[in-house]
Amino acid sequence: MKKPKLRSPSGMHDILPEDQPHFQKIEKTCESIAGFYNFQKIETPILEEAELFSKGVGVSTDIVEKQMYTFRTKGGDFLALRPEGTAPVVRAYLEHGMYNLPQPVKLWYFGPFFRYERPQAGRFRQFWQFGFEIFGEQSSVIDIQIIQIFYNILKELKFKDLIIEINSIGDRQCRAYYKKLLVSYFRSRESSLCLDCRRRLRENPLRILDCKEEKCRRIISQAPQIIDHLCEECNSHFKEVLEFLDELELPYRLNPYLVRGLDYYTKTVFEIFDQSLALQSPEEKEQGQISPALVGGGRFDLLVKLLGGRDTPACGGAGGVDRIVQSMKARSIKFTAKVPTHLIFLAQLGALSKKKSLTLFEKFRKAGLPIAESFGKDSLKTQLGRADKIGVRYCLILGQREALEGTVIVRDMKTGKQETVKIEKIVEEMKKRFRK
């Protein structure tokens, strides 16, 4: 057959039945970890006011500048398909007065997000994330709990070779000073920077640190590092985070160039990578780049206030489901879907018995007994063939005679023995047999 003309939009993909076990496994793992650490689930709309992201994530970030799907509604609202989950969760925290609840408030989410990215390995325009956010605690132990949660989720998903990259980008005060140092360092080398970095020098100098261009990397390697310029408070916060990481024996590496692509971060920022895996495109491999991060996050102590609330420290992170599924598949990590095992099959013959079968089938559902059928098939032989294939223990046969007499034949597929049971007793009878 010719390839169909209509395909899914570029960068967006179907999650086919064979991918569902992986997705379900990830969601279930998040759910159980969330329960253990006492997080509550939240779902926010797919659409938000675009202003939430320009204010929250930052106007000069790639996400807001280049990657948002926005549109004006008939009513004149300017909306965006959510590119990330933190700003929406902060909006909900404020809108529903969650600051009045005992703090910390711990929320988690699982859902689709949208970014108009250049499609490449591990980068989609619609992708799924799970996120965990903690509001109202400034202790460094919270940063560690967040990192630990993501690390534990990936471990439960059988990732073996994980590495946490970590950095501190300071707070408003020390970052402002560091930015000045950085700008003066790069300004004297501006002509050797790539075009993007020259623009970043004016708009968002910290982002230069994460440029992948070879000529920029050489200059960046000599640039002043924020770690050396943290204020006392940020410095001791970061030291504590590292001490906790040591205590928990979590594998980590300091990355002084990790700044993250969203403006709301303060103090700790981190990403988690699977070191064993090459998810990259051939050109990324050529440039010696490692696989994209599976998880990213950090502290965002200023965001709640920025979006109209009180001063509220907060910390969180998000993991990319599609990337995790891709790397699970690349390493042949398999999870089988939990399909109910059918131990009973209901076969029918003739118009009246088909009608009666439909009612009987519903009785089994209500009783919580899984039962299989092939109502679309009329031949008894085909139906019994199907029952055999599924490997059921009992086949219930409702022929014309049984339909008239109000009975069902129960055929034991193991022994071949058959007996007749009254139709109103059959559910109870089957329950009894499985209880034995």
Residues that bind ligand HAM (CB under 6 A): 84-86, 115, 117, 122-124, 127, 129, 131, 133, 262, 293-298, 300, 316-320, 322-323
User: Would you say 27 is a known binding-site residue?
Assistant: no
Q: Which is nearer to ligand HAM, 114 or 345 (CB)?
A: 114
By beta-carbon distance, which residue lies closest to ligand HAM? 320
* Cα 103 from Cα 134, distance rounded (Å): 9
Q: Which is nearer to ligand HAM, 87 or 219 (CB)?
A: 87
Q: Which is nearer to ligand HAM, 167 or 357 (CB)?
A: 167
User: Would you say 323 is a known binding-site residue?
Assistant: no
User: Would you say 86 is a known binding-site residue?
Assistant: yes
Q: How far is the CB of 212 from ligand HAM (least distance, A)?
A: 16
Q: How far is the CB of 299 from ligand HAM (least distance, A)?
A: 8
Burial category of 276 from C-beta neighbours within 10 Å (exposed 0-12, middle 13-18, buried 19 and up):
middle
Q: Which is nearer to ligand HAM, 300 or 364 (CB)?
A: 300
Comparing CA positions, the residue from 240, 225, 242 lying closest to residue 175 is 225
Are 320 and 294 spatial neighbours (Cβ–Cβ below 8 Å)? yes
Write down how long the chain is: 436
User: Would you say 264 is a known binding-site residue?
Assistant: yes
* Cα 420 from Cα 402, distance rounded (Å): 9
User: Would you say 85 is a known binding-site residue?
Assistant: yes
Q: Which is nearer to ligand HAM, 256 or 261 (CB)?
A: 261
Which helix or strand (DSSP H or E) is residue 389 part of?
helix 380-390
Q: Which residues contact 58 (CB under 8 A, 6 or more apart)?
A: 64, 204, 262, 263, 264
Q: How far is the CB of 310 from ligand HAM (least distance, A)?
A: 19
Q: How far is the CB of 132 from ligand HAM (least distance, A)?
A: 8
Q: How far is the CB of 266 from ligand HAM (least distance, A)?
A: 11
Q: How far is the CB of 352 from ligand HAM (least distance, A)?
A: 55
Q: How far is CA 242 from CA 173, 235, 237, 275, in A?
A: 22, 11, 9, 20
Which is it for the CA torsion 15, 16, 21, 22, positive or negative? negative
Q: Which is nearer to ligand HAM, 67 or 407 (CB)?
A: 67
Which is it for the CA torsion 132, 134, 138, 141, positive or negative? negative
Q: Which residues contact 224 (CB under 8 A, 6 or more apart)?
A: 178, 181, 182, 185
User: Would you say 265 is a known binding-site residue?
Assistant: yes
Q: What are the binding residues?
A: 84-86, 115, 129, 133, 260, 264-265
Q: What are the binding residues for L-histidine?
A: 84-86, 115, 129, 133, 260, 264-265
